[in-house]
């Protein structure tokens, strides 16, 4: 998934930001996938539905306190590929968990870093 590249960079480099903490990475990607899959299956992949998916995903991430900026791309990927419901688990949820685990290992190998700052 395209957004994992951006998530990896900011999670490894900006590990101290609230938007790169595990709750945000995992929750943000999951919520964006769930919202956009729902919109896709209700309205199709029309251009206006793509905008609706991204905007609604951002709103839901803000509402739940799981804002992760690269997750906006998750909504677009779902809409553009016309993803099926299994996308919610693979790659969105599983990929996010793997990304966070890699960030935990990478960031904690450095002496001057501690990741995550908080899990929830």
Does residue 119 form part of some domain? Answer: no
Does residue 117 form part of some domain? Answer: no
pTM of the model: 0.95
Residue 2, pLDDT > 90, answer: no
> Can you tell me the distance from the alpha carbon of 58 to that of 28, in angstroms, rounded to the nearest whole number?
9
Q: Taking a C-beta distance cutoff of 8 angstroms, is the pair 36, 57 a contact?
A: yes
Does residue 59 form part of some domain? Answer: yes
Does residue 98 form part of some domain? Answer: yes
> Can you tell me the distance from the alpha carbon of 32 to that of 64, in angstroms, rounded to the nearest whole number?
12
Does residue 116 form part of some domain? Answer: no
Does residue 115 form part of some domain? Answer: no
**pLDDT confidence of residue 85:** 98
First vs last Cα of the chain: how many Å apart?
Answer: 24
> Can you tell me the distance from the alpha carbon of 28 to that of 25, in angstroms, rounded to the nearest whole number?
5
Taking only the tens place, the pLDDT of each residue in 36-95 is 999 999 999 999 999 999 999 999 999 999 999 999 999 999 999 999 999 999 999 999
Domain that holds residue 12: 3-105
The number of distinct structural domains making up the chain is: 1
């Amino acid at each position: 998934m395209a957004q994992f590249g951006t998530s990896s960079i900011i999670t490894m480099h900006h590990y101290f930001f609230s938007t790169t903490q595990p709750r945000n990475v995992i929750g943000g990607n999951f919520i964006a996938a769930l919202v956009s899959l729902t919109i896709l299956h209700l309205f199709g992949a029309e251009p206006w539905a793509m905008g609706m998916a991204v905007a609604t995903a951002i709103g839901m991430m803000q509402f739940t306190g799981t804002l992760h900026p690269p997750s906006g791309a998750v909504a677009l990927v779902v809409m553009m590929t016309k993803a099926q419901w299994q996308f919610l688990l693979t790659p969105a949820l599983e990929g996010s968990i793997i990304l966070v685990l890699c960030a935990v290992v990478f960031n904690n190998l450095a002496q001057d870093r501690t990741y995550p700052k908080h899990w929830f």
